[in-house]
Amino acid sequence: MSDLAIDYGDHDRVREVVDRLTYCAEHVSVSFDGWDEPHVKGPGLYFAVVADRDYGDYADPMGDNCWPRETPPPP
């Protein structure tokens, strides 16, 4: 196992993040009132989980996007 490998199902901090994301998704789902319509778009969610470590070698790039963006990207 590498230093990044953890048992996600039993890790307290991971469970807390998953529980918060689940709560947010359920809240959006419950508040959406268009489920019975024949053609529905939405709701959509994006989650960004930010850590205080560098996982660059373990994560795929997300295109040319960089967050947070304080200034315009260089030309």
Please return the burial class of 16, using the count of CB atoms within 10 Å of its CB with bins 0-12, 13-18 and 19+.
Answer: exposed
Q: What is the pTM of this model?
A: 0.48
Can you give the residue ranges of every domain in the chain? Answer: 8-57
Write the pLDDT tens digit of every residue in 10-56.
888 888 888 988 998 888 888 888 778 887 776 677 777 776 666 66
